[in-house]
Amino acid sequence: MKKNRELFIAGNWKMNTSVTEGVKLAEGLKEKYGNIKGVRLAVAVPFTHIIEVGKVIKGTSIELAAQNMNENEKGAFTGEISALMLKDLGVKLVIIGHSERRHIYGESNETIALKVKAVLNAGFECILCIGETREERESGMLEKVLKLQVESALCGLSTDEIKRVIIAYEPVWAIGTGLTASKEDAENAHKFIRKTVSDIFDESVAQKIIIQYGGSVNASNSASLLSAENIDGALVGGASLSVEKFSGIIDSVIA
C-alpha cells in the first residue's frame, strides 16, 4: 500500500472481441481472480458486452466499467449512451477522456469536464484519462498540458466528488505503440499530477487519489512501473485482451 492507496488495475478492451469472445475472456478472469485480494481489478468492455460480461463477473471482485458516456441525460443524440442507460446494468466506473476520444473524435477539455460531472452525478466512479503527445513532450509542454487537462476536468468538483475520481496518465505516444515511458519519466509525471490535484484541493486529497499509468503496459514492465511511489496501478489496453497476458501484469504486483 502506497500511503494507504490501493493498487488498481483496469483492462480497457476498446473496440475488440465479439460478445462471445468477451464472455469467454471474462470467464477466464473470473476463474483466476474472482476473489482477488490486495489489488482492485476492473474491466472496461464495449457497450454491447456489458449485460453478458456483467452476468459473468457479478458477485466477484472484478468490477464492471464502461468505456465512455455522453454528458447529456437523454435526448436526440443518435448513437450515444447515457448514464440512465448504464445505471441498472451493474456498471461501477466510466472511462472519460481517453486519448482516442480526444484525438480521434475531437473531444475537448470542456466536453470532458461535462462528462466527468455527468458520470459523478450519476453515482459512478470516473477514470479520467490525461496525457501528452510526443510533440508536446519534446517541445517542453508536458506540465502545461497535464495541468490544463487536470484543472479543466476537476475544478469545481466537491471534495466528496473527487473521492470518486481515478486519474489515468497515458502518454499518447505510448498507447498501442509498444513504447513505454521510463519508470523515472512516468513517476515524474504522476508526481506532477498529484501536485496539481493538491493545488486544486489540498495535500490530503492528493495523497488519496489513485493515479494509474497506461501506455503499452505488459508483464515485463508492470512490476517496475507500479513500484514507483506515485504510480498506483495501470490502465491496460491490448494486454487485457488475453487472460495470459493480463494475468502476467496482475501477478507481477501481487506475487
Mean pLDDT in the chain? 95
Contact between 109 and 149 (Cβ < 8 Å) = yes
Mean pLDDT of 105-111: 98
The stretch 234-255 carries a mean pLDDT of: 94
**How far is Cα 215 from Cα 202, in angstroms, rounded to an integer?**
28
Cell of 134: 510526443
pLDDT in tens, 4-38: 899 999 999 999 999 999 999 999 999 999 999 98
Find the mean pLDDT for residues 120-138: 96
Q: Residue range 196-215: average pLDDT?
A: 97
Residue with cell 482492485: 40
Average pLDDT over residues 181-205: 96
What distances in angstroms separate CA 28 from CA 155, 159, 241, one per listed residue? 40, 37, 11
Q: Which pLDDT value is given to residue 177? A: 79
Position 135 scores a pLDDT of 92
- Does residue 174 register a pLDDT over 90? no
Confidence band of 255 (pLDDT split at 50, 70, 90):
low
pLDDT band at 210 (very low <50, low <70, confident <90, very high): very high
Name the nearest CA neighbour of 70 among 111, 100, 42.
111
The answer on pLDDT for 1 being more than 60 is no
Q: What is the mean pLDDT of residues 47-71?
A: 98
Confidence of residue 89 (pLDDT cuts 50, 70, 90): very high
| Angle between helical axes of 183-200 and 142-154 (0-180°, round to 10) | 40
Active site residue ranges: 98, 170
* Mean pLDDT, residues 44-51 taken together: 98
Q: What per-residue confidence (pLDDT) applies to 3?
A: 61
- What pLDDT band is residue 153 in, cutting at 50, 70 and 90? very high
pLDDT at position 120, please?
98
| pLDDT, greater one: 136 or 3 | 136
User: Any residues with CB less than 8 A from the CB of 45 and at least 6 apart, and which?
Assistant: 13, 22, 26, 53, 64, 65, 66, 67
Confidence check: pLDDT of 218 > 90 = yes
Q: What is the pLDDT of residue 179?
A: 76
pLDDT band, residue 2 (cuts 50/70/90): low
For residue 234, the cross-strand partners are 9, 213
Q: Return the pLDDT at 165.
A: 98
